[in-house]
Amino acid sequence: MTDNRPALGVGMVGYAFMGRVHSQAWRNVGAFFDLPVRPVMAVLSGRSPDRTAAAAASLGWAAVETDWKRLIERDDVSIVDVCTPGDSHAEIAIAALAAGKHVVCEKPLANSVAEAEAMAAAAREAAARGVRSMVAFNYRRVPAVALARRLVADGRLGEIRHVRAQYLQDWIVDPDFPLVWRLQKDKAGSGALGDIGAHAVDTAQFIIGSLLTGVSAITETFIKERPLAEVSSGLAAGSNTDAKGEVTVDDAALFIGRFEGGALGSFEATRFATGRKNALRIEVNGSLGSLSFDFEAMNELWFHDATEPDAGFRRILVTEPDHPYAGAWWPPGHGLGYDHTFVHEVKDFLEAVAEGADPTPSFDDGLRVQQVLAAVEASAAADSRWTAVV
């Protein structure tokens, strides 16, 4: 059977954790959603020829480049998917947009407000030429989170008064965990704040449809030095060296904030919550009800309708056909997982590109999150002084 849909070649830069899950999304999106275009996994870019070739063969990419600039130049690439550490996001994304390529960029958008501003400006200029871009805040595409947004937008919670957001992990509790790039400010921009706090900020703002305007914050680095990454490999092979390097990012960030319209917010991002693996938790309290979500039970949304007499929270199993995204997958009660959020992400992106519409979250949305992160860092550096988000 002939497929007459326009083909859009995808070129992806980076093939580690995010590259693997993005590859899964590009592979599977057409099998579950009726798309107006046909994505083609054209080329994968990485610095090591051997490792990139092995990743391409494993993940399903047709070709390999060892220079992302050559990937952007290719005629068979219409979309550039940026899955690299944050220190290269701006250079790659801006170059891709200038070359007329649509761009999906992992979060946080950049390592600084200045970089994010440049990226957002490039995205606005490109949009005027019909070139689209999106920042990859995948948790917006959890069906339960999308349903939470729908409930708020429909007025089911009334006036929003309080938001509580936590992102709790424990993967670097061990002091012998090596000094990987995520623990180095020049590569990652910040620590728990940017890596997972950015998700908490974006998810909270998305659910209630309102932006943070000011914050008061504290941050902490619990383990100041760690084994060098290459030394850690040597230790595994029996080396006796004890060389260490400085951790230059935060291990935990806590802040309070105020949203447009006056709602209060409290936020916590830590990679030292022993026993918590990936607990993105959001609770929203309004004048007519409340809702609560925990990603470690990602197919559930808890909802309290204060207009019902003597009613407490009730569990909504978000797997019904009329729930966001869920109807494309399995029968009710058959839950989805982490990787499905990325499938939903590229589905929405491809539909927007085909329609000539700007996808969300936009680079401007990513910039706004970056401004919140910068305000948190500035407040923490100034003894928790109240700091406007600008």
**Where are the chain's structural domains?**
7-138, 142-336+361-388
**Model pLDDT for residues 65-105, shown as the tens digit of each residue:** 999 999 999 999 999 999 999 999 999 999 999 999 999 99
Digit-coded pLDDT (tens) for 167-186: 999 999 999 999 999 999 99
pLDDT tens for 253-306 read 999 999 999 999 999 999 999 999 999 999 999 999 999 999 999 999 999 999
Q: Are 139 and 203 in contact (CB under 8 A)?
A: yes
pLDDT tier for residue 235 given thresholds of 50, 70 and 90 = very low
CATH topology of domain 7-138: Rossmann fold (3.40.50)
Other Cβ atoms less than 10 A from the Cβ of 113: the count is: 17
Residues 6+ apart with CB under 8 A from 259: 160, 163, 205, 208, 210, 211, 212, 213, 265
Q: For 329-341, write each residue's pLDDT tens digit.
A: 999 999 999 999 9
Please name the residues in contact with 301: beta carbons below 8 A apart, sequence gap of 6 or more: 144, 147, 148, 291, 292, 293, 315, 316, 318
d(CA 150, CA 100): 34
Residue 143 main-chain phi, psi, to 5 deg: -50, -40
What's domain 142-336+361-388's architecture? 2-Layer Sandwich (3.30)
Q: Is the pLDDT of residue 46 over 60?
A: yes
pLDDT tens, residue by residue, 108-167: 999 999 999 999 999 999 999 999 999 999 999 999 999 999 999 999 999 999 999 999
d(CA 278, CA 329): 23
Q: What's the mean pLDDT when you consider all of the chain?
A: 95
Has residue 240 got a pLDDT over 50? no
**What DSSP state is assigned to residue 141?**
G
- Give residue 230's pLDDT: 67
Cα Rg of the chain, angstroms = 21
